[in-house]
Amino acid sequence: MFIVIVFVMLSMLLALWASRTALFNELVVGNDADYQRAAEAAQALIQDAELDIRGEKSDGSLCIGPPCRAYSGKSDMLQFPGDTQEINPLIMQLEAEPTRCKYGLCARRVGRQDFWNYATEATQVVPSANPNVGEVPLYASSADGVALTAKGIGARYGEFTGAVNTADAGQLNPILTETEAGKGGWYWIEIMRYSDAARSANLVVDAKTSTLALNLDVYVIYRITALAVGRKPGSTVVLQETYARQRLKD
Q: Compute the distance between CA of residue 65 and CA of residue 121 in angstroms, rounded to an integer.
A: 38
Which residue type is seen at 65?
G
Residue 15 pLDDT > 90: no
Q: Please state the length of the chain.
A: 250
Q: How confident is the model at residue 134 (pLDDT cuts 50, 70, 90)?
A: low
Give pTM, 2 decimals.
0.79
113 Cβ contact partners less than 8 Å away, ≥ 6 residues apart: none
Residue 133 pLDDT > 60: no
pLDDT of 132: 55
Q: Compute the distance between CA of residue 196 and CA of residue 189 in angstroms, rounded to an integer.
A: 21
Cβ–Cβ under 8 Å, residues 87 and 218 = yes
Question: Across residues 40-53, what is the average pLDDT?
Answer: 94
Cβ–Cβ under 8 Å, residues 27 and 19 = no
Question: DSSP 3-state assignment of 132?
Answer: coil
pLDDT of 207: 54
Residue of 126, 150, 122, 149 whose CA lies nearest to 225: 149
Residue 160 pLDDT > 60: yes
Question: Across residues 215-234, what is the average pLDDT?
Answer: 86
pLDDT of 22: 61
90 versus 211: which is more confidently predicted? 90
Q: Compute the distance between CA of residue 74 and CA of residue 152 in angstroms, rounded to an integer.
A: 11
pLDDT of 146: 81
Q: Kindly report the backbone phi and psi dihedral angles of residue 231, in degrees, each rounded to the nearest multiple of 5, phi listed first.
A: -80, -15
pLDDT of 244: 85
